[in-house]
Chains A and B, each alone.
Chain A
Amino acid sequence: MPLSPIATANEWAHRAAALVLMALLVTSSPGANATPPPKPDNRVIIHSQGETRISGTPKRVITLFQGANDTAVALGVTPVGVVDAWAQGAHYDYLDKALDGVSSVGLETQPSLEAIALLEPDLIIASRRRHEAIYPQLSQIAPTVSLATVFDVPRTLEIMGQALNREDKANALWVDWQARLKDFRQQAERTLGNRWPLSATVLNFRADHTRLYLGGSYAGSVLKDLGFTQPPAHPKNLWMMKLTTKESIPIIDADVVFYFMEDDPSVRDSFDAWTRHPLWQNLDAARNQQVYPVDRVAWNLAGGILGANRMLDQLFEHFELEDGS
């Protein structure tokens, strides 16, 4: 029973607000993205964040993750804008010449949308892992193709080949890669005989922990394609483990251990501490002297077809096999 006009007004205000709030909660959940209006075109590319129509051959490409930078160069395209590298300056050493003079659009994790817009691109290659939130804005600047992760070399090659209208080149690169893989496997079997297939571990030493990359990681998947196996102790459901105590050293053991690290004094201290530990000395790999440093960029940071080839170069060299390519 209303006590006064003010109370009634208040009550009604509350009811109205409650209704609106409920409506808000229901409608604030995101709806599906509307598909873009059809343009006169050549092809439709289906990627991790929808479909994009691209016409002709894009001339001004911006690549927003390392693997895309790499793949663009591999396909013979010089982007008008790339994101900064994680090491070795603005670009990785092996891409320095190819990317000389290319504008930077900022960090891979947070590229500058304004810089991208000012470059007036006609194609943007992004990654859902990094750029999902800004995909709508990117799409408004230029047709945008989005890869699901940042280190899926075959998919990046395939999609970028389609987008850049260089499918033949992309195919050629892929065929080459497969041939090299097969070559390596055959030579390894011949040279190592019974010892093949070898089990391998990939380690990344850091200042306060050590990372173990498992089968699902970039380096791990390349090794798997080459025929290396994962030590049985490694869990199958993870792609990386962070080891914070030296008591977990035994899990590192394998026929061969590859490691990489940053060139930094605290990282080197950590490396020394780990490798001098008695549990490390007890590893089969350590005792057989099968522990090798490898290139951090090619094995972990590059993520594209050129980087993968460099990783394979190192393996050929390491096992002293003949690199036929």
Chain B
Amino acid sequence: MTASVLTANCHYLKKSTRPGRRLILGLLLTGAAFCSSLALGQTNIPPVTVWDALFHFDATKTQHLIIQGSRLPRAVIAMLVGSALAVAGALMQALTRNPLASPAIFGVNAGAVFAIVLATTLMAISAMDQLLWVGLIGAALAGGLVYALGTVGHQSPSPVRLVLAGAAISALFISFTQAILVTHQEGLDSVLFWLAGSVSGRSLAMVLPTLPLVLPALLLSLLLGRHINLLMSGDDIARGLGQNVALLKSALGLLTICLAGSAVAMAGNVGFVGLVVPHIVRGWLGSDHRWVIPGCAVFGAALVLSADVIARFLIMPQEIPVGVMTALIGTPFFIYLARRGLRYG
């Protein structure tokens, strides 16, 4: 028994080096994107200065201040948001068994947007860190409602019900948001850029509150890879193989809300990452979720980082909102995927 298990594991290890290699490639790609995010921009900073700024910080040098003050937080937030959204997307697609599911379907975007608009226009809350919490609460509220609606009357949510519930709750919150914005023009002006998706103008201290949510959620998602694989074969088979399907689905739902909610609260509406990255990763690393989840975390970070860098250059000195940039990059991919055939798994 032990020998066959060992042989099976060795066999698996041999087969698994290819995704492993590709994952390492992905990490390198992310690293390169991270470095260019620090170095490139309206003032291009040479790599040596970047290194100095990170490790031999000198508060009198402007370039060091730029790196530590704007670019580093921006890069870190971009990575966090990218990983969180991509992993949330992978989890959503597994949970709903729908290749075109994305975190937005859970209504978290609409919920966060509504909460923040409500807070800024009617409650006059303006501090960034407070708005972060407001956004999280809104996202959690919407996600919870969607989950509840999708599960009503049954033990665990079915894919179709979840998608429909998400569409309904999104629509609800969007309509309330419209009602507020149409009566408060100043409100519209001050959330416009946030609505479009933005990773700039935030300090690391601001996003500290979300770290206790995002990092454990990412970790937990990584550990659930094996269980998700079993879930993919169908509820009944998974139950037969000893999975507690209801618990697993609830966990997946909760994780998605945490990850997507935090990402939206940090950066606003960054679209397409949760939709497209899981497909690309599955195409390149295979459908084993033990590789897919870390792959999404890595490639999601790379995508948002690259989008942010490109967004700085297209209409200098103005910038394209990063949420729009990811859509611009993601749409051709999406069309390609749609043409190739909407396969899942």
**A interface residues with partner B (beta carbon < 8 Å):** 206-209, 241-248, 250-251, 262, 264-266, 269, 273, 277-279, 282
For chain B, give the interface size range: 20 to 34
Q: How far is the CB of B182 from chain A (nearest CB, A)?
A: 10
For chain B, residues 180 to 234, give those with C-beta under 8 angstroms from any C-beta of chain A.
Answer: 186, 189-194, 198, 200-201
Chain A residues with CB under 8 Å of B151's CB are none
**For A248, what are the chain B residues with a Cβ–Cβ distance below 8 Å?**
42, 316-319
Beyond A207-B126, A244-B198, A245-B200, whether A278 also contacts B191 by CB under 8 A is no
Contacts of B191 in A (CB 8 A): 208
B201, A251: Cβ atoms closer than 8 Å = no
Residues of chain B lying within 8 A (CB to CB) of residue A265 = 124, 126
**Chain B positions near chain A (C-beta within 8 angstroms):** 41-43, 62, 65-66, 69-70, 120, 124, 126-127, 186, 189-194, 198, 200-201, 312, 316-319, 321
Closest to A245 in B: B200
Assuming A244-B319, A248-B317, A248-B318, what are 18 further A-B pairs, CB within 8 angstroms?
A206-B190, A208-B194, A208-B198, A241-B317, A241-B318, A243-B318, A244-B200, A244-B201, A244-B321, A245-B42, A246-B201, A247-B312, A248-B316, A262-B186, A266-B126, A269-B126, A269-B127, A278-B66
The answer to whether A206 and B127 have CB atoms under 8 Å apart is no
Q: Which residue of B lies closest to A248 (CB)?
A: B317
- Chain A residue numbers with a CB within 8 Å of B318 are 241-244, 248
Residue of B nearest to A209 (CB): B193
Asked if A247 meets B43 with Cβ closer than 8 Å, knowing A206-B190, A208-B192, the reply is yes
Q: Which residue of A lies closest to B317 (CB)?
A: A248
Checking B70, B124, B194 against A247 with a beta-carbon cut-off of 8 angstroms, the contacting residue is: B70
User: What CA separation (Å) do A243 and B190 show in the bound complex?
Assistant: 13
B23 smallest CB distance to A (angstroms):
32
CA distance A273 to B200 in the complex (A): 13
Determine how close the nearest CB of chain A comes to the CB of B58; give it in whole angstroms.
12
Task: Find out whether the CB atom of A247 lies under 8 angstroms from the CB atom of B193.
Answer: no
Bound: A209/B120 CA distance, A: 15
Most chain A beta-carbon neighbours within 10 Å: one of B41, B66, B120:
B66
B280 → chain A closest CB, angstroms: 28
Contact A245 B201 (CB under 8 A): yes
Smallest CB separation, A160 vs chain B (Å): 27
In whole angstroms, what is the CA distance A251 to B319 when docked? 14
The complex places the Cα of A205 from the Cα of B196 at a distance, in Å, of 19
* Most chain A CB within a 10 A radius of its CB, from B120, B312, B317: B317
With A206-B189, A209-B193 already in contact, the answer to whether A279 and B62 are too (CB < 8 A) is: yes
In the complex the two chains form, is B66's CB within 8 Å of A279's CB? yes
Return chain A residues, CB-CB under 8 Å to B41.
Answer: 247
Q: Which residue of B lies closest to A208 (CB)?
A: B193
15 A-B pairs whose Cβ atoms sit less than 8 Å apart in the complex: A207-B126, A244-B200, A244-B319, A244-B321, A245-B42, A245-B70, A246-B70, A248-B318, A250-B43, A251-B317, A262-B186, A273-B201, A277-B69, A278-B66, A279-B62
Report how far A277 CA is from B126 CA in the complex, Å: 20
